[in-house]
Amino acid sequence: VMYLGKLVELADSFELIAHSVHPYTRSLISAIPVADPVTARQSHRIVLQGDVPSPLNPPSGCRFRTRCPYADERCAAEVPEFKEVGSGHWAACHHLDRVK
């Protein structure tokens, strides 16, 4: 999964859908339509707030920070490290422990 030209999460398709850890990935997956009406009514759509930055002039630090509900000063100052969070599952976020 990429955001403004940078990888934010990488895993095989099943792992990504079942165990996504980045807030942007989770918002994308929540937008997938569900064919079963009962399941669809129980699902929760994550609607992102904030400004969509220009890809020609991306924000400092984490590029997703202007739309991320977990963003803080560290996100503005430092680019998050792309690190392995599970076997073959990688993500770049300072607050992976807080993402629900």
| Residue 89 host element (H or E) | strand 89-92
C-alpha 55/C-alpha 38 separation (Å) is: 38
Predicted TM-score (pTM) of the model is 0.89
**What are the boundaries of each domain within the chain?**
2-92
Write out the chain's pLDDT in tens, 100 residues.
999 999 999 999 999 999 999 999 999 999 989 888 888 888 888 999 988 899 999 999 999 999 999 999 999 999 999 999 999 999 999 999 988 7
